[in-house]
Chains A and B, each alone.
Chain A
Amino acid sequence: MENIQLLLQGFSVAATIPNIAAALAGAFMGLIVGAMPGIGSLAGVALLLPLTFKMNPTTAIIMLAALYYSNMYGGSFSAILLNIPGDSPAIMTALDGYPMSRKGKAGKALFTASISSFIGGSIGIIMLTFLGPLAAKWGLSFGPAELTWLIILALTSIGWIIGDNPSKGLLATAIGMMLATIGLDKALGQPRFSFDSINLFSGVSFIPLVIGMFGFGQVIDMVVNRSEYGAVEEKRLTIKESILDKSEAKRVTPVACRSGLFGCFIGILPGAGATMAAFLSYIMEKRVGRNKAEMGQGAMEGVAAAEAANNGAAIGAFAPLLSLGIPGSGTAAVLLGGLMMWGLQPGPLLFKNNPDFVWGLIGSMYIGNILCLIVAIGCIPILMKVVRVPSSIMIPIISCICIVGTYSVNNNMFDVYLMIGAGVLAYFLKLAKISEAPILLAFVLTPMLEMYVRQAFDISSGRLNVFVGSPISITLMILIIVFCLAPVLIKLIKKPNPAE
C-alpha cells in the first residue's frame, strides 16, 4: 500500500513536461541506436551521459533509462528486417523474426516484437515497483557457483535447441567457445591464441562477429542465391493490418507474460544480462511451448519470448542497481556512474533519502514504456517498406552498414577485416548446415563462465564442493542432467511413426 502511495507521488514527478519530453527523446534515440548495428545500449548511454551533466538528476536518469529500454525495442527492428541483430539480445529475435519477414509477415513480426517488449517491460516495472529491494536481495543468493551452473545449463542446451542436428549445434557451441578464448586472459594477464597480433590481444570483438555472421553472411547468401531473395510482396502496410488478430494474440500473450517474468528474474541476477534472459526464455519456450515445432522457422512465439525477456531483464537490472548499488549489466554500470556523477549514492538508503528521484524514475518507466510502444508501432509502416526494397539495392546498403557499423565500435579497420572473415565463415557454415546462433551465444557466455568458475574457486579456496553447496546449485545441476538426457531418452522410447 505504501508503495502505491509512493508510486503516485512518483507519477506526479514524472508527469511534468520536461520529464515526459526527456522520456520521449530517450525513447526515440534508443530506437535509432538499437536498430543501428554496432551501437548497443552501452555505447548509447555512455555517449549521452556527458550531455546530462547539467540536467536535473531525475530528468537525466529518466532520459537515459528510456534510451536503455527502448534500445531493446530497436534491436529487434534490424534483426527482423535485415537479419542483423542490433545488439546481442536480438540474436534470438532474428531466429524467428527474419524468417517471418521473408514469409511476408514483417508487419506481424514487428508488431509481435513491440507488443511483447511492452508486456515484458511492464512486468519488469511492476516487479520493480512492488518487489524491487526484495528481488535484489534474492538475486544476491546467486553466487559465482550458481551462475556457473546457469551458464552451463545454457551452453548444454544450445545444441539441442537451435537447428535440426544436435551434433552440429554442439560443434557450433565449441567453435564459439574457441573464439571466446582468443586474446588476453583477463585474470592471469596471459595472451592466448593471439598469434602475436596486437589486434588479437584484446580478443575477438563481439560486434564484428555478429555483424559479419548475420549481416554480411546474408549479403553473400543474397549474391549466391539471388532467386530466393526477391523483394517480398508485403501487402499489409498499415498499422491496423499488422495488429495481431484474436487467435494470434492468444498465441503471443501467454508467451510474452511468462518470458517477461522470467527475463525480469534473470535481469535481477548480477551479471546475467538481457542476452542470457532472451536465450533462456527461448529455450524454455522451445521446451514447453505449444508451437515449439515451428520455432526457428518463423514462429511468433520465438519473437515474443526473446523480446519480452530482454525487456523484462533490462528493467529487472534496475532492482539491484537502485536498491543495492550493484549493476546487473554493462549499461547499468554506466548508469551507476551517472548516479554518482549527479551526487546520488545507490543502495538501500537511496529509497529513503531520495524518494522523489527513485519513485520519479519508476513512475517515468510506466510512461516511457507506453511512449516506446507508441513510437515503435508508429514506425512499423515505414519500416515495412524496407522489406519491399529489392535485393539489388539491399546488397550495397547492407554492405555499407556492415562496414561503418563495425568500424564505429573501436574505430579500427581490423574489426572490418574480422567482420568480412566472419561473413565468409557464416557462408561455409551455411553450406554445412551449421547454425551461426550457437557460435555467437557460446561466444557471449564463455568469458562469463570462465570468470564465475574462477570466482567460485577463489571464494572456496579451491574446493570443488562449492558447486554443490546450495539448493539452487543442486537444482540447476539436476536440470542440466535432465535436459541433456531427455532428448536421448525420448528418442529411444518414442516408437517410429509409420506415417513418417
Chain B
Amino acid sequence: MQKNDSIRIEREVIEMKRFIPAVFILIGIYWTVMSFSYGLWIRGGPGGGFLPLVAGILAIIFGVVVTMAEFKDKTPTNFTFKAFLPPLILLGIIVVSQLIGIIITLVIYIFSWIRFYEKESYLKSGLVAVLCPAVIYAIFVMWLKVPLPQGILGLL
C-alpha cells in the first residue's frame, strides 16, 4: 500500500509526458544554433551544418506539436525512480570490472541479482551465474577473440 502511494506521489511530482518532448525542443534549438557555425552551404553543396539545421528545425516543430498535445492529455505517466536501478547496476559492473575483470563481475552480478533481489534458490542462482558467463566467454573470448576487460587479474 505504502509502495503504491509512493509511486502515485512520483507520478504527481514529475509529469514526464510533458517534460520529455519539451527537452527535445531545447536540444533542437541548440542543434539549429550550432548548425550555423558549421557552415550551411560550402563549395556549391551542403556544408556540415545543413543537415543539423534540418534536424534541429524538425525537432523544434514536432516537439512543440507533441508538447501542446500532451498538455491536453490528462492521463498520468507511470514514472518511477526504480527505473534507474538497472543503469546504476551496469555502471557498478563497469567500475568493478576494471578491478576484477568482466567475467568474474558478471558471475557476481548474476548470482546476487537472482538470489538476493529475485529471491530464487541458491542452486538456480549459482547455475545461471556460472553458465551464462561461461557461454559469453566461449563465444566472445575463445571464438571471436574479443579482449574483454580482465582488470588486475590480467596482470597476473
Bound-state Cα–Cα, A416 to B93, Å: 11
- Assess the A32–B80 pair: CB atoms within 8 A: no
- Assess the B51–A449 pair: CB atoms within 8 A: yes
- Assess the B80–A224 pair: CB atoms within 8 A: yes
Cross-chain contact of B56 among A178, A401, A449 (Cβ < 8 A): A178
Closest residue of B by beta carbon distance from A170: B62
Q: How far is the CB of A215 from chain B (nearest CB, A)?
A: 11
| Best-buried of A396, A403, A446 by chain B (most CB within 10 Å) | A396
- Assess the A185–B38 pair: CB atoms within 8 A: yes
CB neighbours (8 Å) of A167 from chain B are 62, 65-66, 69
- Assess the B147–A411 pair: CB atoms within 8 A: yes
Bound-state Cα–Cα, A336 to B149, Å: 34
Cross-chain contact of B113 among A395, A413, A420, A453 (Cβ < 8 A): A395
Q: Can you list, as one digit per residue, whether each of A407-418 has a CB less than 8 Å from chain B (1) or not (0)? A: 110010100110
Bound-state Cα–Cα, A124 to B144, Å: 30
- Assess the A178–B133 pair: CB atoms within 8 A: no
Q: Can you list, as one digit per residue, whether each of B73-96 has a CB less than 8 Å from chain A (1) or not (0)? A: 000011110111111011101100
Contact (A454, B110) CB under 8 Å given A193-B52, A424-B87:
no
CB neighbours (8 Å) of B50 from chain A are 450
- Assess the B20–A428 pair: CB atoms within 8 A: yes
- Assess the B62–A407 pair: CB atoms within 8 A: no
Q: Does A4 contact B (CB under 8 A)?
A: no
**How many pairs, one residue from A and one from B, have CB atoms within 8 Å of each other in the complex?**
187
Q: Can you list, as one digit per residue, whether each of B128-147 has a CB less than 8 Å from chain A (1) or not (0)? A: 10001100100110001011
Q: Does A8 contact B (CB under 8 A)?
A: no
Q: Does A423 contact B (CB under 8 A)?
A: yes
Tally A residues with Cβ within 8 Å of B: 63
- Assess the B94–A416 pair: CB atoms within 8 A: yes
Q: Is the interface of B mostly helix, strand, loop or mixed?
A: helix
Bound-state Cα–Cα, A454 to B47, Å: 9
Q: How far is the CB of A123 from chain B (nearest CB, A)?
A: 32
Binding site for A on B (CB under 8 A): 16-17, 20-21, 24, 27-28, 31, 34, 38-39, 42-52, 54-56, 58-59, 62-63, 65-66, 69-70, 77-80, 82-87, 89-91, 93-94, 102, 106, 109-110, 113-114, 118, 120, 124, 128, 132-133, 136, 139-140, 144, 146-149
List 10 tightest A-B contacts by C-beta distance, closest first. A462-B44, A177-B55, A457-B45, A392-B118, A174-B58, A171-B62, A174-B59, A432-B20, A185-B48, A408-B146
Q: List 29 A-B contacts (CB under 8 A).
A: A167-B69, A170-B62, A177-B55, A178-B55, A181-B52, A190-B39, A192-B48, A193-B52, A220-B86, A223-B82, A224-B82, A396-B114, A396-B132, A399-B86, A399-B90, A400-B136, A404-B148, A407-B148, A420-B90, A424-B87, A431-B16, A432-B66, A432-B77, A433-B17, A450-B51, A454-B45, A454-B46, A457-B44, A457-B45
Binding site for B on A (CB under 8 A): 32, 36, 39, 47, 165, 167-168, 170-171, 173-175, 177-178, 180-181, 185, 188, 190, 192-193, 216, 219-220, 223-225, 392-393, 395-397, 399-404, 407-408, 411, 413, 416-417, 420, 423-424, 427-429, 431-434, 446, 449-450, 453-454, 457-458, 461-462
